[in-house]
């Protein structure tokens, strides 16, 4: 496992597994250490990554290190994720990762915008969905994105599982879009 992935090993393994059998590109809302994982997997599977982050300085800093965004075949959008989904014509998406705005309303908008693009049997991963301390429900930490996890656990259109002690102990939720053509999955 790449030493740069230590805090994100589980996400890296899951993304690698999903991409081995799912067609489509990738979306990352909120750049950071995970961008290196997406870039490595984009090379391995010859997929494009669409990165989005509001923080121009963070993006500039990551551009200094080739491992974060690779050879720039991927797209980097600096701005609000709502604008990203409006302005960028995204193809079918195999996997998406949401780690942008940590409040429920923004995380839900990001999920809804991404879900419509995800292929059947595709996945969306959400970070900050299981705050380990009461303090972590503040916006600067996990915020209220855990409320989205709670909603998704009751959504019949998805399978949902949360790794509670993953990703800095803030939780990593894996959401699989159920295939519509197999009604027995919907029961």
What are the pLDDT digits (tens) for 87-145? 999 999 999 999 988 888 999 999 999 999 999 999 999 988 877 666 565 666 667 88
* Local structure of residue 178 (DSSP, 8 states): P
The pTM (predicted TM-score) of the whole model is: 0.90
Tell me the CB-side half-sphere exposure of residue 74, using CA atoms within 13 A: 30
All domains of the chain in start order, with CATH: 3-186 (3.40.50.150)
Cα(169)–Cα(128) distance, integer angstroms: 8
49 within 8 A of 39, measured Cβ to Cβ = yes
For 44-57, give one letter per residue: b (16+ CB within 10 A) or e: ebebebbbbbbeee
pLDDT digits (tens, 9 = 90+) for 152-176: 999 999 999 988 877 666 789 999 9
């Amino acid at each position: 496992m790449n030493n740069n992935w230590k805090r994100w090993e589980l996400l890296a393994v899951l993304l690698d597994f999903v991409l081995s059998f799912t067609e489509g590109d990738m979306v990352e809302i909120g750049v950071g250490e995970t961008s290196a994982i997406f870039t490595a997997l984009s090379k391995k599977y010859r997929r494009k990554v669409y990165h989005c982050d509001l923080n121009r300085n963070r993006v500039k800093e990551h551009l200094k290190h080739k491992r974060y965004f690779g050879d720039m075949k991927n797209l980097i959008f600096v701005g609000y994720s709502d604008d990203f989904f409006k302005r960028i014509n995204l193809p079918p998406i195999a996997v998406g990762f949401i780690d942008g705005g940590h409040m429920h309303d923004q995380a839900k908008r990001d999920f809804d915008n991404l879900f419509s693009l995800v292929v059947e049997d595709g996945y969306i991963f959400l970070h900050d969905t299981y705050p380990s301390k009461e303090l972590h429900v503040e916006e600067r930490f996990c915020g209220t994105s855990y409320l989205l996890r709670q909603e998704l656990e009751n959504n019949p259109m998805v399978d949902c599982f949360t790794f509670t002690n993953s990703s800095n102990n803030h939780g990593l939720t894996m959401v699989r879009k159920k295939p519509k053509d197999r009604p027995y999955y919907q029961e």
